[in-house]
A = this chain, B = another copy of it.
Amino acid sequence: MADYLPTSLARADTIAGLAKGLAVLESFDTERQRLNATMAAQRAGITRAAARRHLLTLAHLGYLESDGAYYWLAPKVLRFSGAYMATARLPRVVQPELHRLAARTGLSFSCAVRDGDFVVIVARSAVRESGDRLLAHGVHLGSRLPVHATSTGRVLLAALPDAERTAWLAGAELPRLTAHTVSDALALTAVLNDVRRLDYCLAVQEHELGIEALAVPLRDMRGNTLAALNVVTATNRMPPRELVAQMLPLLQEAARTLRPLV
């Protein structure tokens, strides 16, 4: 949804039509894959007539397909991720290292950055266990996972300046995703302090039952945290303690190797 907060009033240079159109495009997500004008309007927070015009425009440009009444995402939207993946430095340098780690260990590795309340997967090397795809099988490039319940998200939150972290915590929702999710701001603060101290984060079954993950920050030479690297596995395949013992050194080494490159 568009937020034109009056923080900086000089921001009159915004194209409303573009903001609305992207809000419409964003309202197609995992839950709502097919929308008509009415539904798109309420999801994007605009009027039905406006939603219709924006949907028609997006369909004409090829980003949506339509049967006349309903609209859904067209493959053309992949153009943006293709361009991002081809040009952005981060995924380009991180990807080979993730492949190396996956080949060496047989586990799945990802690299994520934060976007608001979510982390976005920008690189990933999933192991392909013939037959069973138990492991976070819905996680693609570009997947968005809640920042408070993921190892990568917490590493990225822990890297925020105190003021920013506090501000975020004040406005965050922290939904409980499993029985193990830390969904209380105070408890999460304590967790984040631990992450800062230890410089890694272990998240066991907080996002999905049976799944655990271990993340470390990826910093540049000036010490800015640019992203988080993590490894994901099933709890019944490797107990948490063993995960840390075996994988933390590998992740830290990868982060060190990548440091001059990112």
Residues of chain A touching chain B, judged by Cβ–Cβ distance below 8 Å, are 2, 8, 11, 13-22, 25-26, 28-30, 33, 52-54, 56-58, 60-63, 72-88, 90, 96, 99-100, 102-103, 113, 115-116, 120-122, 125, 128, 130, 133, 138, 140-144
Contact = CB atoms under 8 A, between A and B. Distances in A.
B21 A78 contact: no
B140 A86 contact: yes
A140 to B, nearest CB: 5
Nearest to A227: B75
A142 B82 contact: yes
Contacts of A143: 82, 86
B15 A21 contact: yes
Given A76-B115, A78-B142, A99-B128, A56 B13 contact: yes
A73 to B, nearest CB: 5
A82 B140 contact: yes
Contacts of A52: 13
Contact of A58 (B18, B82, B141): B18
Contacts of A11: 56, 60
Given A14-B60, A15-B21, A21-B15, A84 B78 contact: yes
Nearest to A33: B87
Contact of A30 (B21, B63, B87, B113): B87
A81 B141 contact: yes
Q: Which 8 pairs from chain A and chain B are nearest by CB?
A: A17-B17, A82-B142, A78-B142, A18-B21, A81-B81, A33-B87, A77-B80, A15-B17
A161 B144 CA distance: 40
Nearest to A22: B61
Nearest to A87: B33
Contacts of A99: 128
A81 B77 contact: yes
Residue among A79, A103, A125 having the largest count of chain B Cβ atoms under 10 Å: A79
A125 B126 CA distance: 11
A185 to B, nearest CB: 24
A5 to B, nearest CB: 9
A96 B62 contact: no
8 contacts: A13-B52, A19-B57, A62-B115, A62-B116, A77-B84, A78-B81, A81-B81, A85-B142
